[in-house]
C-alpha cells in the first residue's frame, strides 16, 4: 500500500494509475490523514455470460408475479399505506 498526500497524488497521477493497474492500493491523505483510497477494479469478463446459465435448476413460483402488499408499495412510492 502506498500513502500519498493530495499534492503528491496530483503531481504524480499517471504514475499512481500505473501502480494501481499493477495491483497496488494507494491511500490519499490530507495532511497525513487518510481521506481516500484508490484501488484496482476487478477485471471485466472477456466474454458475455451465457443466456440461461441456470435454466432448469430452479422454478419461479407463481406468487412472484402477484402484486406487492400496499405497505411495500408505499415504501417504494413514498406514500402512506391504505
Residues 29-40: pLDDT tens digits? 999 999 999 999
Q: What is the pTM of this model?
A: 0.55
Distance CA 65, CA 74 (A): 18
The full set of domains in the chain, from first to last, is 2-38 (3.40.1620)
Tens-digit pLDDT profile for residues 53-72 = 888 898 889 999 999 888 88
Q: pLDDT band for 82, please (50, 70, 90 cuts).
A: low
Tens-digit pLDDT profile for residues 4-24 = 999 999 999 999 999 999 999
Q: How far apart are the first and last CA of the chain?
A: 54
**Helix (H), strand (E) at residue 29:** strand 26-30
Going from the C-alpha of 81 to that of each of 15, 63, 72, 76, the distances in angstroms are 55, 21, 8, 11
Backbone φ and ψ for 15, nearest 5 degrees, come out as -65, -40
Amino acid at each position: 500500500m502506498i500513502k500519498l498526500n493530495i499534492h503528491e497524488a496530483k503531481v504524480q497521477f499517471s504514475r499512481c494509475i500505473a501502480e494501481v493497474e499493477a495491483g497496488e492500493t494507494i491511500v490519499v491523505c490530507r495532511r497525513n490523514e487518510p481521506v481516500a483510497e484508490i484501488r484496482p477494479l476487478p477485471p471485466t469478463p472477456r466474454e458475455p455470460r451465457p443466456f440461461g446459465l441456470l435454466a432448469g435448476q430452479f422454478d419461479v413460483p407463481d406468487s412472484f408475479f402477484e402484486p406487492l402488499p400496499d405497505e411495500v408499495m408505499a415504501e417504494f412510492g413514498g406514500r402512506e399505506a391504505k
